[in-house]
Amino acid sequence: MPDNLYPAATAALGARRRELAPGVHEAFDAFSRAVFAEGALPEKTKQLIAVAVAHTTQCPYCIDGHTKLAHRKGATAEEIMEAVWVAAEMRAGGAFAHSTIALHALGEDTPQSAP
């Protein structure tokens, strides 16, 4: 992540966030720990999902952090890249699926007869 594009997430900034809203910060931390804990899905799978979602939401901090966490939980580079491709397809698929709205707006929502 280029240092000049996104500011570094430092311990000092984390402490400041906690100081500004301590109750909410702790609630979010507890929620995050619960979500990523081993459960019906293994931690590795949860981190691969997070990698895909991070690419869909385009959060550079999340991409960096969850890619590293997925790798620490045993995900291979190939699995991580496949998760990224799933995210890419879902994002593109959303645009494709929403063409229904554009066609409806154009009055093209009824089947046309073939000539």
Q: State the 10-residue block means of pLDDT for the chain, 115 residues long.
A: 78 96 97 98 98 96 97 98 97 93 89 69
Please check whether residue 102 is in contact with residue 73, taking contact to mean a CB–CB distance below 8 angstroms: no
Helix pair angle (60-72, 77-97), 10° resolution:
140
- CB half-sphere exposure, 48, CA atoms < 13 A: 18
If DSSP codes are grouped into helix, strand and coil, which group holds residue 84?
helix
Residue 69 pLDDT: 98
| Contact status, residue 91 vs residue 71, Cβ threshold 8 Å | no
